[in-house]
Structures are given as structure tokens and as C-alpha cells.
Chains A and B, each alone.
Chain A
Amino acid sequence: MTILLAVFLLTMLVITAVAIVRTRDLFAAVMLLGIFSLLMAANFFVLDAADVALTEAAVGAGISTVLFLGALALTAARERESGDSRWLPLVVVVIMAATVVYATFDKPALGDPNAPVHQHVAPWYLSETPRLIDIPNVVTAVLGSYRGYDTLGEVFVVFTAGIAVLFLLGSGRPGELFSRPPDELSTGGLKHHLIPRVVGKLLIPFIILFGLYVQFHGEYGPGGGFQAGAIIAAGVILYALLEGETRALAALPESALKVMVIGGALLYTLVGVVCMLMGGNFLDYSVLSTNSVAGQQLGIILIEAGVGLAVTGVLLSIFHAFAARATA
């Protein structure tokens, strides 16, 4: 059943991807990218990777469409026809694809218990996590503790990407995501549409609450800082769409976003430094408390909070940067 579902979803994924590449209508491409992301998340879910699926869901379903539309507002509606011959790129892509498909023949079958990936460190993680960290979601244990260095690296990648986008777009004066004429509607947002406004505003507290649940329930179920950050950012973006950028920035000003971005990355690093000062290795949370299991859990909660702050801050800064650019 897993195979059947995965093959069906992947076939639709290929069809969508080809359509995205072929279409010249950029708006259609944005809509199809939304479908692409939904298909990808469903596929991750069918393969039992709930944490990854939740990330893809949180980023793909809400935020990436909004950011793509922000980019579309800055550019033309249609892609320009390029006069270059497309045969050479096509040949290169076909050869690469054939090589990759050929390579998969040597791959162990899906779910094969003898596959190298299930024989390397995974059994150790599964057998030792209850003793060392005592949380049910082993994925969070791997991300937060065993591979804490890698996750720290990921946070810095998000941090750097955020800075790079802000450099490119410039953080000018605050504006609306979609520029509008200077008339009575210039306050922005979907203020004059009662139904989206009432329903949307009712939903915002629940979105934020769910984000906090994902943040703090990450040790027990799918979730963690990355997913929670994206969900909370989606809630604030919904507020900005309904009430206008100006009010969203008044509620959560750019200075606060900067503190979140920098503070999140610093919090993660500081946890590691404190571990060293207390006599352990960098990011070895066992020394944070007299009981090493409690120390591990405390460390994971702290670094996940850092991740959540940084991701929320970066996503919202990028959103506001697009909006400021569209108005300028």
C-alpha cells in the first residue's frame, strides 16, 4: 500500500514539475508550486517521515506561496521567451536522470531492514534514547542532541539566508506586500472583505497556539522549532494580509524581529558554551543538571526555543522586506 501511494503521488509530482518548467504564465507556476509542495509533504508522510512532512506543510502550504506572490508583484506576469536552443540542456538533464535511475538499481529496497542506513547508528539511537534522553520522539533526540552540531549549522544557514535576502531586497521603509494606489484603500489588507477578516481573525489565536504546541510537544510527537517557527510566522502573515502590513509591524516591529533572529541563534550557541563552562563538551547537555537525563531534556527544550525564535524572525523579516520593496 505504501508503494502504491508513493508511486501515485510521485507520478503526479513529476507531471506537476514538468508543467511548472513548461508554463510561461508565472502566476500558474506559483499555483502549481503550491500543489508541488502539498504532494511532496503527502509523500513524506506516506514514507512515515512525519517531522519532515510537517516542515514542508508549514512552509509550503502557507509561507512560500505568499513569498512567491510578493516576488510576482515585483516582476512581470509572464516569463520572457528565450531564443536559445534548449536541446543541449535537455540532453544533459536526460543523461543525468538516466545515471541517477541506473544508480537506484543498486539501492536496497524500500524498508529493507538490512539496508546500511538501518545498520549504522540507527539501532544505537533507538536502543539508547530511552536510557539517555527519555523522550519518545527519537527524531527530536537525534536533531537536538546527538546531531546538535548539525542543527546549530542549520540555524546558522537560516540566519545567513535571512541576512542575504535582506541585503538583496534592502530593508527600506515599511510598506504593503502588494502596492496599491494612494486612495482610501491605501491602508492595505483585506479590510473591506468581512468574511475573510472575521474568519481569519478568529483563526489567528488557534494558529499561534498550535505553533506553540508544535514547539513544546516536539519531544513527544512530530514537530520542533523549525516547524513551530514556520507556523507562528504563518499566523502573523495572515494578520498582515487581513489588517495590512502597518498594523502587523506595529504589533511585531522590525527591531523585535531582529532581536528574535539574532537572539535565537545566540541562545542555541550560548547553551553550547554554558555546557562547556559547566565542564562538559560543546552542546553536551548532560552537565546542565545534576541528573543527566533531565539535563538533556532541558538542553533540547532550550535549543528548540532558539531554533523557533530564529525561524519565525527570519521568515517574517523576509516577508516584510518583500512588502517594503513592493511599495518603494
Chain B
Amino acid sequence: MNIAWKEIKKNKVRFLILGSIIFLVSFLTFIISGLANGLSQDNAALIKDLPDGQFYMSTAADETYNLSKIESPIQDNMLNEKKDAVALSIQMGFLNDQNGKQQSVAFVASTDSKLFEHVKDGEVILDRSMKEKGIKVGDVLTNNQFSGKWIVKGFADDKKFSHAPVAFVNIENYKDMYRTDAMQLVFVPGEEKAQAAAGLQAFSKKEFLHTIPSYSAEQMSLNMIVWFLVVISGMLFAIFFYMMNVQKIGLYGILKAIGVKTSTLFKMMWTQMLFITVLALSLSVAFSQGFKMISPDGMPFHLTLETTLQLSVIFLVIGFIGATLSGVQIKKVEPLQAIQQGEV
């Protein structure tokens, strides 16, 4: 007989309250995690969405990409040697729209590569968030440093850098704007190990992300919030399972007295914990994915199903550990003590 299920059926309210707490806490963690990832995407989606590989910048730049200059001969040499390699530059700047209103953007120019938008001379492709600011395909945009004009060719999804929408410009336009022939970076996709190159320093994608000003500090704070939430949630789970077990000490004692195995009582507790936690987490996953669909477009919210499932597994493991630790009382409970305590 499944006594775990019988208890849930009879004490619906008690288990509903426990399930609600697990649901609310995990839902909160998913939402905060979505916001943290959203901010992270907002800061560096342009880089994060690239495949793994190696970034090269000049050693003299002291790990600051916008001070880097890779001279043309070195750059050409690298691009010739590595078929998929791409040279690129990123500069924060402004675009003036047709009404003369300034829009903050990150200009990105690159050599031909399927990893970056291909734009012709005088054209610009913008992150889709610019569309919400009223910019349309065909609009003419200008910049004080650029002698020409750009016509908006289209929009790209999720192309953000340093919390600004990316504006992909042609490499010649970039050179004109910043009066330089040298690009800042060379990216070699798929390269696991950095190749030695004179005057260049190599960074993995993760290392390069941390050279972006404020990225590390921001991510550390956000990750701290998420992990604190996970730890606090775990403690909450353990406390609630503990409280439930304390309430049932007398019952466990009587069951042991009539000969129920301690392992059966643990199985009963684990079954209940798994049932409640899985149900609450499934609801949380569904609600958080639903929230992703209805969250305002301007809100930096990025929550993949993979992330929620990973967090769910962590919650399950924490819940299991919490329940098991609190279940130590089951092992300790003396049948005689429960009998002498009176009616359960």
C-alpha cells in the first residue's frame, strides 16, 4: 500500500502549502535568473552568441579591446592562415536619426564572415531594439565622425554589446569614422588552443567577455543573487521538510512499533518530497516560460528551458538532501517514546 500517497490525499492542504512554497521560491529564482541572464545578454549578446574560439588583441592594449590595434600585415597573415578567422572592431558611439535624435549604439565592423552581418558601403544593419525606437528600413542615419550617410538595410535579432544595440557598418565606413586601418580584434572560431603570435594576446570567449568593462562586476553580482536564492531556497526546503517530519515523529514511532521498516518510512518521505517538488517545479518551469513570452520587449529577460531545467535539477538535489538530512530523525525515533507520548 502506498502510504505516502494516502497521506498526500488526506492532508491536501498541508501538502498544497508546501508545494506552493516550493513553487513560489523556485519561480522567483527562475525569474531572477532570467533577469540576470537577460542583463548578461544585454551586455554581451554579440560575443556570447558566437561559437567558442580564440580572440586575439594586441599585447600593448593591456587587455582592453578598444585600445587594441592589430596592424594590417599581421591581420592579413592571420586571416590567410585561418580560413574562418574574422577581423573586427567594436566602438561605442552615436547615430543621428532623421529627426536629429541621437541613439547610443555599438558600431561593429568586420571582414567578411557568416558570424557577423554583411553590410555594403553606406548601409547599416541595426539590432531589432532600434525598430522599437521608431527607426525603419530605408531611414537615413548619420554620425558626426562619418563623412557619408547610412541607409538602414535591416534589423538583426539579439545583437547587443555593453547594453547598447549593435550597428553593423561596412569596414571601409568604420575606417573612415575612426581614421584607422587597423582592426581591434581577430576572432578564430573553433580554435580551442591559442596559437602563439608575436605582439598578440589570446583570449577564450569567456576570458574575452571579462575584458568588457563592467561585465565581470555585473555578472558576479547577478550570479551571487541567483546562487544566494538557490542556497536560501534549499535551506527553506530543508526547514519545511524538517517541520513536517517533526510533526510526524509520533506517527513514525507507532509505525516502527508495529514493525514498519525505517527504509519504508524514508521511501515514504522521499516519494512525498519528489511528488511535491516535481509538481511545483513543473509549474514553475511552465510559468517562467510563460512569463518569458509575455514579458515586455524592453525588459532584458533571457531564460532558456535548459537553464530552468538545470536549476530544477539543483532544486531537486537540494530538496532531496534537505529531506534526507531532516529524515535522520526518523532513524532516531524510538517506538517506545512515541507510544508513551500519547495519541498521534
- Chains A and B bind each other: no
Measuring CB to CB, which residues of chain A are less than 8 angstroms from any residue of chain B?
A: none
